[in-house]
Amino acid sequence: MVTPPGALLAGVDRAAFAVGLGERLRRAGVPVTFTALGAFTEALGVAPPRDLPSLYWPARVTLVDDVAHLPAFDSVFDAVFRDSVLPVVGCPDCVADWLVSVEVPLWLVEGTVVA
């Protein structure tokens, strides 16, 4: 249940991702059901999102069942994806530049053995 390479959420466990987003939505007052989480997880597998709109619409259609909850959904979606620290889409060079400026602890580097 991992999203294939090349997709927006490449390598991400779809079920864990859906549960995490669902929990954020619940805390914002959107009553997300287990059935909705399953439908969203399935939607991510059928059509892996390649950009924010192709993630937004399956999430909105499966996780929101009342128009009254749309403002809370949009607020959470924006906070998670549009207002994130790293750009999600649109500027791969921006991400590369940001990553170059970040100092990664040696123990996080793959293959490094900490004695």
Q: What is the pLDDT of residues 77-88, one digit of tens each?
A: 988 887 765 555
For tokens 């809370």, what's the residue?
A: 72
Buried b (16+ CB within 10 A) or exposed e, 78-109: eeebeeeeeebeeeeeeeeeeeeeeeeeeeee
Cβ neighbours for 26, distance < 8 A, ≥ 6 positions apart: 32
Q: What pLDDT is attached to residue 102?
A: 46
- pTM for this structure? 0.68
Which of 32-46, 51-65, 72-86 comes out lowest in average pLDDT? 72-86
Which segments of 3-112 does DSSP mark as H helices, in order? 14-27, 34-46, 52-63, 70-77, 92-101
Domains in the chain: boundaries: 14-108
Using DSSP, state whether 35 is helix, strand or coil. helix
